[in-house]
Amino acid sequence: MRNKTALKILETHRGKLDDPNYDAYFVWREQAITYAKKFCGEDSKEYDQLNKMSFPDVRKTTPEGYKNDLILVRHVLITYGNQMIETVRNLGIKRDYHNFLCKYSNKELIVGLIAAITAVIGIGVFIGKLIYKYNITNP
C-alpha cells in the first residue's frame, strides 16, 4: 500500500468524526487501532495511545457529566486521528519486510539480477576457455 492510499483511508476515517451525529466512538476507535497497527506499527505512539484510551463509565457519572465526557472523548479521538494522519504524511507508512528481498525496489532487484547473470556467464566463459586451452578431458 502506498502513502497516498493510506492518507486517503485515514482522512476518510477521521472525517466520520466531523459529523456531529456520529456516535459510534468505540467502533471508530477499534478501526483506528487497526489502521495505526497497519500504517504506523505496534511500537508507535499512535497505536499505544489508542490502545490505552478508555471510555467513561455511564454508571459513575450523571447524564450531563456523561455527555461532557463524550464530548471530551470525541475531542481526544479527533486529536489522535489528526496525529496519525500527520505521522503518515510526514514519515510514511511503516513497511514490514517478511524477507530480505522485500526491502529493495523492482529496479534494484533487476540491476542485481543482471549483474549476477553477467557474473555467472563470465565465470562460465572463463572456465570454458580454460578447458579448451589446456585440453582438459575426462580420463
Alpha helices in the chain (DSSP H): 3-15, 25-39, 45-52, 63-91, 106-134
Residue 33 is placed in which grid cell?
A: 487501532
Q: Model pTM greater than 0.75?
A: no
Q: How far apart are CA 70 and CA 9, in angstroms?
A: 24
Q: Which residues contact 31 (CB under 8 A, 6 or more apart)?
A: 13
pLDDT tops 80 at residue 117: yes
Flag the least confident range among 17-26, 82-91, 105-114. 17-26
